[in-house]
A and B are shown apart, each in its own frame.
Chain A
Amino acid sequence: MSLARTASQTIGPFYNFALLGGADNDLTRRSKGGPQAAGEVVEIKGRVIDGDGAACACALVEVWQADAEGRYGADRDPNFAGFGRTLTDNDGYYTFTTVLPGPVPGKGNSWQAPHMSMSLHSGGLLKQVNTRLYFPNDDANADDPVLSGIEDDGQRSTLVARAAGEGRYEFDVILQGEGETVFFQL
């Protein structure tokens, strides 16, 4: 049997009362006031920008990542959420608090550099865009199969966050035009 896949439609502008809870952008705890996940706590801040360079407000940003030891499965740190979502503000900014992920297995014997999977929905987007966030100054980036598969230096650099001080990283998502973020066909 082969069923036709259900088509995507835009999230539209009026959803935040439905999809957002209190602390969904804090991956370091499974519940408010609960124990903190192991690892180095980091803050990721970024801006979502459209083809005019204008802020993309009310975009839904979702992330999925391994814990500090690079685990996704049932053996994962029980205090680590792994999945998070948040909304961009009127100036297009989003923020996540998380722990630095560990390296995770790739194809065969290869390893992938620490990364986060990131997806965005917005009014004006008829289906999600998918990208990845890598961390700067990580030696493993050079051997990462996804990063090294992108030949153009400028395009590859759109997947690497900027260091912005102790435990802080910045990662903008440019939907269109100059500096357009690399988006993946999953």
Chain B
Amino acid sequence: MANTTDVTGRHYPDSGQNTDPPYLHPDYKSTIKKSPQRPLVALEHSVTELSGPAFEAGEAGENDLTVQGDAMPLGERIDIQGRILDEEGNAYAGALVEMWQANASGKYRHINDGREAPLDENFIGAGRCVTDAEGWYSFRSIRPGPYPVPGGWWRPAHLHFSVTGPSVVTRLITQMYFPGDPLLEDDPIFHSIADDAAREALIGKFDLTLGEPSVSLGYRFDMVLRGQAAG
């Protein structure tokens, strides 16, 4: 899957930003036994950390999750667009962006999702694309449903995003939420992020102009990875 190495001419100093959640967030119980307890060891970046995989543009349609079945999936059609940027606003071109999600009923096409909710035979719920020269990605999909966590709370509607490239230092897995969702208030995963602005930044911005008239509703979701231009 990986193509040629991309040494981007960027470097990845620690800018002091600390938007990420901690490993241990007891309200999200699964972190209790999976969080490392010893302090992380600082690693000076070498060529291992400054290089990484690059990706070729995918096949057309891989970013349209509404055309993967014989017919259109159930649900409210949405378009999500955004840019992958570094901390100075420079584009990350050639980054692999993968998106996956539950269907409109809040059910994943996954053997371990045992919840009683219907699958949609026309919806797989996974897509991918590679950012263009300006760092843009886009997906068309349907709005996912919220779902209850067994024995726990309700997860707000969300899209999972994975961004790979250009380096292990810039690797990001995150989630996009939807504006105005009342379930955000009590979601321990959303609230694992302490910083208010960093948390709110995971809520996609509703933008009617990004949708197709009379077809889909649009959301803008930019993702900022670590890194600065070299120099």
Contacts and interface: CB of A to CB of B under 8 A. Distances in A.
| A and B form one complex | yes
A1 B98 CA distance: 27
A73 B8 CA distance: 11
Contact of A82 (B53, B89, B195): B53
Contact of B197 (A4, A50, A52, A183): A4
Given A17-B125, A18-B100, A18-B160, A180 B36 contact: yes
Contact of A117 (B19, B30, B48, B202): B48
A4 B17 contact: yes
A176 interface: yes
B157 interface: no
B140 to A, nearest CB: 16
Contacts of B12: 186
Given A126-B25, A183-B36, A184-B43, A21 B1 contact: yes
B169 A186 contact: yes
A163 B77 CA distance: 52
B1 A72 contact: no
A35 interface: no
Interface string A173-184: 001110011111
B46 A104 contact: yes
Interface stretch (A6-14, A36-44, A135-143): A6-14
B202 A52 contact: no
Nearest to A101: B48
Contact of B174 (A6, A82, A124, A181): A6
A150 B42 CA distance: 10
Nearest to B112: A13
Interface residues of B, number: 80
Given A18-B100, A74-B5, A6 B46 contact: no
A56 B89 CA distance: 37
Contact of A7 (B126, B169, B199): B199
B100 A128 contact: no
B67 to A, nearest CB: 16
A17 B21 CA distance: 26
B110 A17 contact: yes
A3 B88 contact: yes
B47 interface: yes
Task: Identify the interface centre among B25, B42, B168, B225: most chain A CB within 10 Å of its CB.
Answer: B168
A105 interface: yes
B34 A124 contact: yes
Given A72-B5, A126-B20, A176-B34, A6 B126 contact: no
A97 interface: no
Given A6-B19, A126-B20, A127-B23, A119 B168 contact: yes
B143 interface: no
Nearest to A52: B33
A106 interface: yes
A56 B46 CA distance: 30
A18 B98 contact: yes
Interface string B40-83: 11111111110111000000000000000000000000000000
B21 A5 contact: no
Contact of B41 (A8, A15, A185): A185
Contacts of A16: 110
Interface of B: 1-2, 4-5, 7, 12, 15, 17, 19-23, 25, 28, 30-38, 40-49, 51-53, 85-89, 98-100, 102, 108-110, 112-113, 124-128, 160, 162, 168-169, 171-175, 189-190, 192-193, 195, 197-199, 201-202, 222-226
Interface of A: 1-19, 21, 24, 30, 50-52, 54, 56, 58, 62, 64-66, 72-74, 76, 81-84, 104-107, 112, 115, 117, 119, 121-130, 132, 145-146, 149-150, 155, 175-177, 180-186
7 contacts: A6-B19, A6-B224, A10-B189, A14-B100, A84-B2, A104-B46, A121-B173
